[in-house]
Amino acid sequence: MDFSFTPEQDQLRETVRRFCDQEVRPLIEEAEENERFPVQLFPKWGEMGLIGVRYPEADGGGGFDKVSECIVREEMSRVCQAFASTWSAHSHLGIWPLWKAGTPEQKERFFKPALAGEKIAAFGLSEPDGGSDIRALKTRATKVEGGYRLSGSKMYITNSPHADFITLAARTRPEPTVDAISLFIVELPNPGFEISTLKKEAIRSSETGLIYIEDAFIPDDCLLGGVEGTYPVILECLSENRVGVSANCLGMAIGAFEAARDYAQTREVRGQSIGKYQAIAHHLADMSAEIEAVRWLVYYGAWRVDQGTIDGATAAKVKLVASEAAVKISEMAIRIHGGAGLMREYPVGRIHKDSLVYVIGEGTSEIQRNIISRAMEL
């Protein structure tokens, strides 16, 4: 067993940390206030090679691995989860299916410009009638001459208000079976797509859309891989991303812990810093210990992805533990701040709200428990 990162991975962490602290942190306040993502980050991420970090060099990526991608996610989320969620919806959900199952032409046309941050991607799976029960999705794709006609709706789609394309799931046959579900690459704007931006309480500067789709024409060459029935690609994509977003949860927990520790060192009550009170010191000790446990669970999950041995239940365990820990740790960070914890001047209130995103998104904690217990064959 070897728990060390490679010198290249240490270097990557240092580069991303410096970039996030120096260039990203100053953008947060305005972006959160206006609920607008600073789109100039896309080409910047592309230029730094951060979008394609886990994709092979042969496909235009950085040639690193999932462990390295998790380092990038951890460092991004330590500073701002809204920006990291935007990155995740683009760099993983929106383009991983293209990398995995796209035709060479689709890779040239969509995947490569997305790696460079020239095109913005989104992933459209969830619908107003159900996010957890993805097999029940209702958006219909009807075969017509030269392509498909899509009708339906999509809910909570990250990046959709400013996306250049959406990798979108629709039912290509009416049967309620999973092999009737296919993926399309929908170029935007499309006259059949009406996208409105949702107002949110968490990850406010990550832009999230509600989409109405009415008789939208999608040409044949935008059916992912040129074949129907790509539901297994969706499952594999989600499973790997459960490990990925767990690294985001780790980053949020670290960001909250660091803020609470710094506050405990400087805030004085009755003539001494609050960190000198054992009650506060013990809370910080618990937070630090839990972060250590989550860190190694997350990187174990990433290592399993790199080994090609990750399974749905393991990915669900990693996400369940990491996401719930981020919620708990960031709530404690607020308590340690006292009243200041609820003031926007301090980051911990934002981090706590943002942490709730991953006990819901990418499958709720209840769904993770369903996946884990199903594997037990009780």
Residues that bind ligand FAD (CB under 6 A): 89, 123-126, 130-132, 156-158, 203, 208, 357, 360-364, 366-367, 370
CA 73 to chain centre: 9
Token pair for residue 336?
A: 């340690």
Told to judge if 362 belongs to the known catalytic residues of this protein, a careful annotator would answer: yes
- Which residues touch 2 (CB under 8 Å, ≥6 apart)? none
Q: Which of 162, 166, 151, 121 is nearest to 216 (CA)?
A: 151
* Distances in whole angstroms, Cα of residue 259 to Cα of each of 79, 275, 284, 355: 11, 12, 11, 15
- Which residues touch 230 (CB under 8 Å, ≥6 apart)? 97, 101, 181, 182, 183, 224
**What's the closest the beta carbon of residue 237 comes to ligand FAD, in angstroms?**
11
Q: Which is nearer to ligand FAD, 89 or 274 (CB)?
A: 89
Q: Which is nearer to ligand FAD, 88 or 106 (CB)?
A: 88
If you count DSSP H runs as helices and E runs as strands, how many of each does the chain have, helices first? 13, 9
Q: Which is nearer to ligand FAD, 203 or 336 (CB)?
A: 203
Residues facing residue 211 across a β-bridge: 154, 195
Which residue out of 74, 175, 362, 366 is catalytically annotated?
Answer: 362
Q: Which is nearer to ligand FAD, 101 or 169 (CB)?
A: 169
**What's the closest the beta carbon of residue 210 comes to ligand FAD, in angstroms?**
11
Report phi then psi at 185, rounded to 5: -105, 110
Report phi then psi at 123, rounded to 5: -130, 120
Report phi then psi at 212, rounded to 5: -105, 130
Q: Which is nearer to ligand FAD, 200 or 267 (CB)?
A: 200
**What's the closest the beta carbon of residue 276 comes to ligand FAD, in angstroms?**
39
Token pair for residue 366?
A: 């209840």
Q: Which of 2, 164, 142, 159 is nearest to 82 (CA)?
A: 159
Q: Which is nearer to ligand FAD, 158 or 239 (CB)?
A: 158
**What's the closest the beta carbon of residue 357 comes to ligand FAD, in angstroms?**
5
Residues facing residue 151 across a β-bridge: 140
**What's the closest the beta carbon of residue 366 comes to ligand FAD, in angstroms?**
3
Q: Are 197 and 209 in contact (CB under 8 A)?
A: yes
**What's the closest the beta carbon of residue 202 comes to ligand FAD, in angstroms?**
6
**What's the closest the beta carbon of residue 331 comes to ligand FAD, in angstroms?**
18
Q: Which is nearer to ligand FAD, 221 or 366 (CB)?
A: 366
Left if phi > 0, otherwise alpha if psi is -120 to 50, otherwise beta: which for 225? left
d(CA 269, CA 260): 15
Question: How many residues does the structure list for the chain?
Answer: 378
Nearest residue to ligand FAD, scored by beta-carbon proximity: 131
CA dihedral 225, 231, 237, 238 (to 10 degrees): 160
End-to-end CA distance of the chain: 32
d(CA 375, CA 225): 30
Residue positions annotated with a catalytic role: 362
